[in-house]
Amino acid sequence: MMSVSIAHKRPRTYRKDYWMKVKDPAMIRRWRKQRHYSQRDLAYLVRRSQNTIYKLENGKLPTLSEDLALAIAARLDIPWEDLFLEEEIKPMPQLTNGTNNERQVA
């Protein structure tokens, strides 16, 4: 019997085209406190660090991924539209340098 080795590749990850912008950072804090969550509790529930929640509540993280915004809204039990605005990020055009290596325009 022959053994066949199959190379497993990680699935290709694509840059998310939708990000969320925080409407009012203080509103996240008010809803969190109303639900009796500490920053650490909320961070645990959405699988992020306490520092991430701190930065969101203090306006130091003005945009976040769509999945994090939806997770926060779900854990606080409010519609995401009350906390966040949806932003579409346009993909950056691809450039080639003549050697068939592609890179993003900065």
Q: What pLDDT sits at residue 87?
A: 83
State the Cα–Cα distance between residues 49 and 44, nearest whole angstrom: 7
Q: What would the pLDDT profile of 6-28 be if each residue is shown by its tens digit?
A: 555 554 444 556 799 999 999 99
Q: What pLDDT sits at residue 2?
A: 52
Q: What would the pLDDT profile of 44-95 be if each residue is shown by its tens digit?
A: 999 999 999 999 999 999 999 999 999 999 999 999 999 999 987 766 666 6
Q: What pLDDT sits at residue 14?
A: 47
Q: Which segments within the chain are labelled E, that is strand?
A: 18-22, 63-65, 84-88, 94-96, 102-104
Catalogue all structural domains in the chain, each as residue range(s) with its CATH number.
Answer: 18-88 (1.10.260.40)
